[in-house]
Amino acid sequence: MTDVEQANTEKTGFWSRVRETFSFRSSTVTPSSPYSTWKSLFNTWGIKGTSVSEESVQGIPAFNRAIEVVGSQIGSLPISVYRKKEDGSVEEAKDHPLYALLKFRPHPLYNSYDFRTAWVRQMYLRGESFVHPVVEQGRTVSLVFLSGKPTIINDGGKFFYRFTHENKTYRAEEVLHFKLNTTDGIAGQSPLALFRETFERALAEIKLGNKYFTNGGQVSGLLSPTQPLDKNQASQAMEFWKQTNTGQDKVGQVGMIPFGFGFTPLGDSMNDNKLMDARRMTTEDISNITGVHSILLGNLDRATFTNVEELNRIFVQFTLRSFGKVFEDEINSKAFSASERGKVFVRLNYDGLLRGDTKARADFYAKLFNVRAISPNEIRAHEGMNPYPGGDAFDLPMASNAKPQQQQNEQSEEPAD
């Protein structure tokens, strides 16, 4: 709470805050509800001073799940290094040093999946990720994450990254600098900074839920004495109330109010305080921040059998492909020599995520086969099946009345009756 907010709180007094709380309880929760309204509730409950950090936000279930969803998909996509041949066709560049690094093990301590999932997590938490391709004797031997935010130095048109934490300076071409939410193309912006109040609210909701249930599901209220009490008497009454009526072991039991007191609750339940609505709103906010649909974050309110496949396509097209493009472009523009650039490139394969169900794939392959755009063995390769002899031929379209040329020639040579 800022100094101004503290001063305003002291000025309005306790009963004004109580009236604000009751007014809030009777309101309708919508996604456009101002954060200050939610914040006043959490402050009334004693939930304040929430610290937003890389560690704390990973404790928000929806946000951590979103990172895991994107990270696991990017990490599991087939990846390879390709080379364009002179005839325009493309083949895997299995002899290139980056092939084994990206496809199998970028570093002795982590494999390709670990590397890519860690990269996605850094991007969501920091808005940036820095990777140094270690080169020995002209060959890239490992990909190492660099820690900390560097200072970018311009020395006469030549750029350098200065990492104070590691006390090292690298030429710009020696650092793969991946970035999100950039406004200048140079530096990325962390979602934690851009959406700080959203994360503060989410953390406050979790603290409030924890505080509620660890107190045995009891909400705050007022003990009202029927006669004036001195400080010592009031303290004894409060202590009696806490020991007799609060705590997890008191749930479901009959409580007792100290003699000469009445109790006025300030709330009835988590639902009455609209906390469940707030949690759902936070899930929607996290969905907008991360590009991961709320269905994948556990909110099934609008999930139907018919829209899941379409949502999968949207997720691949607008979330995974954008992450993949950031990954591919930075590597393709920096990790290859000048003579290789444009001829050798890295590519992630999204085909497996876009194939659809069995019927949709069968119809797709049939159409390609009918126009001789694909051979049976190519279809089998897409489906992870072994080729068969003769399957590389582009046969006639199915249900075609056309006859092979050889058969037509044989018929024309038959003697007439």
Q: What is the pLDDT of residues 278-291, one digit of tens each?
A: 788 899 999 999 99
As a dihedral over the C-alpha atoms of residue 66, residue 67, residue 73, residue 76, rounded to 10 degrees, the angle is -150
Q: How confident is the model at residue 355 (pLDDT cuts 50, 70, 90)?
A: low
For 27, the token pair is 């309101």
- Asked whether the whole model's pTM tops 0.95, one would answer no
Q: Which residue has the higher pLDDT, 372 or 189?
A: 189
348-354 average pLDDT score: 84
Q: What is the pLDDT of residue 357?
A: 66
Say whether pLDDT at 333 is over 90.
yes
- Cα radius of gyration (the chain): 32
Q: How confident is the model at residue 22 (pLDDT cuts 50, 70, 90)?
A: very low
Q: Which residue has the higher pLDDT, 233 or 31?
A: 233
Helical pair 61-76 and 275-290, crossing angle rounded to 10 deg: 30
Asked if 193 contacts 182 with a C-beta cutoff of 8 angstroms, the reply is: no
Chain mean pLDDT for the chain: 80
Say whether pLDDT at 127 is over 80.
yes
Q: What is the pLDDT of residue 220?
A: 62
Question: CA 114, CA 112: separation in Å to the nearest integer?
Answer: 6
Q: What is the pLDDT of residue 47?
A: 46
Kindly report, residue by residue over 365-379, the tens digit of the pLDDT: 888 888 888 998 888
Q: What is the pLDDT of residue 153?
A: 95
For 35, the token pair is 């954060």
Question: CA 196, CA 24: separation in Å to the nearest integer?
Answer: 23
Q: What is the pLDDT of residue 284?
A: 92
Say whether pLDDT at 404 is over 80.
no
Q: Which residue has the higher pLDDT, 19 or 409?
A: 409
Kindly report, residue by residue over 222-266, the tens digit of the pLDDT: 777 878 888 888 888 888 877 776 665 655 556 677 777 777 766
Domain range annotation of the chain: 16-105+117-123+192-218+267-354, 221-265, 358-411
Say whether pLDDT at 89 is over 60.
yes
Helical pair 35-44 and 196-214, crossing angle rounded to 10 deg: 30
Say whether pLDDT at 74 is over 80.
yes
Q: How confident is the model at residue 302 (pLDDT cuts 50, 70, 90)?
A: low
268-272 average pLDDT score: 53
For 369, the token pair is 């086969």
Q: How confident is the model at residue 26 (pLDDT cuts 50, 70, 90)?
A: very low
Distances (CA, A) of 42 to 38, 84, 97, 257, 401: 6, 59, 55, 26, 75
For 166-209, the DSSP string reads: TTEEEEGGG-EEEESS-SSSS----HHHHTHHHHHHHHHHHHHH
- Kindly state the DSSP code that residue 142 receives in the 8-state scheme: E
Core vs surface per residue 238-256: b (16+ CB within 10 A) or e: eebbeeebbeeebeeeeee
